[in-house]
Structure 1
Amino acid sequence: MGNGEEHKLEAHKKLLICLVISSSSLGLILLFCLAFWVYRRKKSPNSSIKNSDAENGNSFSLFMRRLSSIKTQRKTSINKDYYVQSFDFKTLEKATGGFKDSNVIGEGGFGCVYKACLDSNAKAAVKKIENVSQEAKREFQNEVELLSRIQHSNIISLLGSGSEINSSYIIYELMEKGSLEEQLHGTSRGSALTWHMRMKIALDTARGLEYLHEHCRPPVIHRDLKSSNILLDSSFNAKISDFGLAVSVGVHGKNNIKLSGTLGYVAPEYLLDGKLTDKSDVYAFGVVLLELLLGRRPVEKLTPAQCRSLVTWAMPQLTDRSKLPNIVDPVIKDTMDLKHLYQVAAMAVLCVQPEPSYRPLITDVLHSLVPLVPVELGGTLRLTR
C-alpha cells in the first residue's frame, strides 16, 4: 500500500470519528430536550389527562382534541364579532314613552313598531313582537341572527334586541322618511319622489339585494321584499328591512320552503311549486320597480270580490312605446328622458318574467340602473343644465 493510499485511509477514519461524535452529541441534546419537555408536562395542571393519552399510545385522540380546541376558539371569535346589545324592558318602555300609540310608526304581522329615544339621545325604532306563537319567536330569532352578521349601507342596522315572557323586541336605526310604501301610496302620493330620486331608491335596493345574494356567505334570500320593507332615511337613502322570513341558502336549502310572503310580490314558481331561489327576490324587485314607475299598488281592488294584479295589467302596455308614457305615475310624467323610461320598463319586464331563468341576476339589474342615476345620488349620470 502506497503512502498516498495510507493518507486517504487515515483521513476517512478521522472523518468517520467526527461524524460519530457529532451524531452522539446531537442525540444527547435531543434526549435532554425531550426529558425537559416531559418534566414540564408532568408539572402542568392538565398532565393527568395528557399523559394518559401518551401512555396509551392514543396520539389520534390527542390530535382530535387539539383540533376540536382550535374549532371552538374560531367559533368563539365569530360569536364575538356578532355580538348583539341586549336591552331590558324598562329601558325600552322609557324610550318609547310607555309604548304609546302616538309613537307607533309602523305595524307588522306580530306587533307594532315604535319611535324611540334611547338614553344616549339616539333616535331608534323598536319593533315589539307579541310572542303569541312559535312562528313569531322563530321570526324574531331569525331576524336578530341574520342582521347581527350583516353590515351594508343599504341594509337596516340592528342596534340590539330584548326579550321577556310575553314579548320580544328588535331595536333598529330610525329611518325618518318611513317606508317606500308610505311615500308612494300614502297621503303625499309620491310627490316627494322625483324621477331621479325613484331611480336612486331602486339602485339602493338593488345594491342591498346584491350584497345578500352575492357577498353573504352563505347567500341570503330575503323572501319578503316589498315597498313597505324598503325604508328611507332623511336623505331618501333606501335600506332593506324585515328579515324575519329571510333564509340562508346553505343552511335551509333553496327549495321546498314553507310558502311565505306578500300577495303581489311572490314569484309564480314559489307560489305554485314552492321553489325558492334568488330569482324570487328579483321578481319582487321587479314589482317594486313597477310601483316606482307607475305609482300603483301591486294588487288593486276593483270590487270587494275582485282584485287586479299590477304585473298582469301592466305587462302588455310596458312593451308598447306609444302606451307606456300614458301609464307612468302622473307625479313624474314627462319629467324623464324617454330613452331612460323605456330602459327601466324593459328591465321591469325582465324581472317579472314567469320563467325564473329568463330573469336577470340582481347584479345585472344594478349595472343597468347605475347609468340612470345622477352622480350626486350615487350613479354615473352627469346632468346637463
Structure 2
Amino acid sequence: MFPLLGASIFLIVILALYFSFKSRGKHADEESESSLISASLFAISSFDGKLLYSEIISAANNFDSSCCIGKGGYGNVYRVELSSGDIVAVKKVHPLRADEVRAAKEFQNEVMACIEIRHRNIVKFYGFCWSAEQSFLVYKYLEKGSLATNLSNEEAGKELDWEKRVNIIKGVANALSYLHNDCSPPIVHRDLSSNNVLLDAEFEAHVSDFGTAKLLNPDSSNWTNLAGTYGYVAPELAYTMKVSEKCDVYSFGVLTMEVIMGAHPGDLISTLPSSSLEMRLLVNDVLDQRPLPPSTDVQDKLESVMEMACMCLAENPHSRPTMYAISQLLAS
C-alpha cells in the first residue's frame, strides 16, 4: 500500500521521461511521439512536483463540473488544458473516507498496471498524485471520447463506418493480447466495456481504466472479489471468483457485438446461433443501420468477426479462444 495514505503530504511522480527512455530501445517506433508529448507536458514543472500539482488543480478549475468529460464509480475524468497548451485527461479519484483501504487499492492497481504498459492501443499514462486532499492520474487526452459515447450518438454512429469499427475491434484485441502475453506477470483488465475504450482523432481504439486490473501471479491463487461492468462480466465469475485471461475474452466478445450492432447485445447473448448460415442471417438482422451498408468483402469480414465473438462468449471459459489467437485472426 502507499505509505503516505492519509498523510497531509502529497506525492507527485513524474514518470513520463523515465518511461520514454526505458522503452526507447524496445518500442522506439511507438514511443517517438509519446516522448515528445511527455517532454513538453512536464516542462512546466521543471520536475517540481508541487508546481505541477498546483498547475493541474488550477487548470481544472479545482475539478469543476464544467471540465468533466466522464464519470465512473472509481473517479471522474476531466479535460485539462495546461498553461503550456498541452491538453491532458485527469482522472480524479473519488474521496472514499469510509473505505480508504479500498480506494488506495484501486488507485495502486491502476498505477502499478500502467507503469510497465506501453502499447499504441492502450491509453498513455503520464504520472499520478496521491494525497489526502486530491488524488489523480494523468493520461493522454483522446479527442473522440469513449466508444460508448460515440455508439450512443446518432451522428457519431454514422461517422463510425464499418472500416473504422473493424479497426476498433482489432485495436482492442491487440491491446488485450499484449496485456495477456507480453506483460510479466500477465495483466487481466477485468472491466473491459465500451465506456473504457477511448478513441483518438483517427478513431483508433485505446483501452483505459485499470482500477480493477489483476496481475496474474503464478505463485498465488488469483481468486478475487467480483469486479467489472454489468453485462460484460464473464458468467463463471459469479460462482468461481477466479480470474483468468478468459474473463477478458468474454468481455471482448460482448464489446465486439456491441460495435457491430451499435448497442449492447443484451439477451441476444443467450440465443446465439451455432451454424454459419444462421450466423449470416444474424449479422443481416442485427447490423447497425446508421453507417452506409458494408461492401460484400466487408460483409464477409463482419460475419467472420461475429462468429469469432460467439466463440468468445462460450459459457465454458476453456472453450474460448485466446486473445493472441483472436488478434492473429483479425490481422489475417
- TM-score, normalising length from structure 2? 0.79
Tell me, yes or no, if structure 1 residue 311 matches structure 2 residue 269: yes
Q: 1:155 to 1:290 in 2, by over 3 A?
A: same
Q: 1:314 to 1:147 in 2, by over 3 A?
A: same
Q: How many matched pairs?
A: 284
Question: What amino acid is the match of 1:208?
Answer: A
Tell me, yes or no, if structure 1 residue 350 matches structure 2 residue 286: no
The alignment partner of 1:342 has SS state of helix
State how 1:54-93 maps to structure 2 within 5 Å: 86=49, 89-93=53-57
Q: 1:333 to 1:191 in 2, by over 3 A?
A: closer
Return the alpha-carbon distance in structure 2 between the equivalents of residues 108 and 317 of structure 1: 39
- Which structure exhibits the higher relative contact order, with contacts defined as CA atoms closer than 8 Å and separated by 6 or more residues? 2
* 1:213 and 1:219 in contact (8 A); partners too: yes
Shift, 1:149, TM fit: 1.4
Return the alpha-carbon distance in structure 1 between the equivalents of residues 86 and 282 of structure 2: 48
Return the alpha-carbon distance in structure 2 between the equivalents of residues 196 and 254 of structure 1: 41
The alignment partner of 2:80 has SS state of strand
Return the alpha-carbon distance in structure 2 between the equivalents of residues 105 and 151 of structure 1: 24
Selected match of 1:118 from 58, 82, 85: 82
State how 1:1-385 maps to structure 2 within 5 Å: 86=49, 89-132=53-96, 133=99, 134-188=101-155, 190-250=157-217, 253=220, 255-299=222-266, 309-315=267-273, 319-332=278-291, 334-337=293-296, 338-371=299-332
Alpha-carbon RMSD: 2.5
Shift, 1:110, TM fit: 3.0
Identity %: 35
Question: What amino acid is the match of 1:335?
Answer: P
Residue-by-residue CA offset, 1:32-62 (whole Å, 9 max, x unaligned): xxxxxxxxxxxxxxxxxxxxxxxxxxxxxxx
Shift, 1:142, TM fit: 1.4
* 2:76 and 2:92 in contact (8 A); partners too: yes
The alignment partner of 2:148 has SS state of helix
* 2:146 and 2:198 in contact (8 A); partners too: yes
* 1:195 and 1:336 in contact (8 A); partners too: no
* 2:88 and 2:139 in contact (8 A); partners too: yes
Shift, 1:325, TM fit: 0.4
Question: What amino acid is the match of 2:313?
Answer: V
* 1:282 and 1:351 in contact (8 A); partners too: yes
Return the alpha-carbon distance in structure 2 between the equivalents of residues 253 and 261 of structure 1: 21
Flag the structure with larger Rg.
1
* 2:143 and 2:201 in contact (8 A); partners too: yes
Return the alpha-carbon distance in structure 2 between the equivalents of residues 124 and 251 of structure 1: 36
Return the alpha-carbon distance in structure 1 between the equivalents of residues 84 and 271 of structure 2: 49
Q: Which runs of 4+ in 1 moved over 6 A?
A: none
Return the alpha-carbon distance in structure 2 between the equivalents of residues 323 and 236 of structure 1: 26
Question: What amino acid is the match of 1:312?
Answer: S
Return the alpha-carbon distance in structure 1 between the equivalents of residues 311 and 62 of structure 2: 47
Question: What amino acid is the match of 1:257?
Answer: T
Counterpart of 1:61?
A: none
Return the alpha-carbon distance in structure 2 between the equivalents of residues 323 and 251 of structure 1: 40
- TM-score, normalising length from structure 1? 0.68
Shift, 1:198, TM fit: 0.3
Counterpart of 1:375?
A: none
Shift, 1:115, TM fit: 0.3
Shift, 1:263, TM fit: 1.1
Residue-by-residue CA offset, 1:1-57 (whole Å, 9 max, x unaligned): xxxxxxxxxxxxxxxxxxxxxxxxxxxxxxxxxxxxxxxxxxxxxxxxxxxxxxxxx
Shift, 1:211, TM fit: 0.7
* 2:272 and 2:310 in contact (8 A); partners too: no
Return the alpha-carbon distance in structure 1 between the equivalents of residues 218 and 95 of structure 2: 25
Residue-by-residue CA offset, 1:272-307 (whole Å, 9 max, x unaligned): 2212110110110000100011112254xxxxxxxx
Shift, 1:238, TM fit: 0.8
Question: Greater shift after overlay, 128-137 or 174-183?
Answer: 128-137
Question: What amino acid is the match of 2:95?
Answer: N
The alignment partner of 2:132 has SS state of coil
The alignment partner of 2:157 has SS state of coil
The alignment partner of 2:257 has SS state of helix
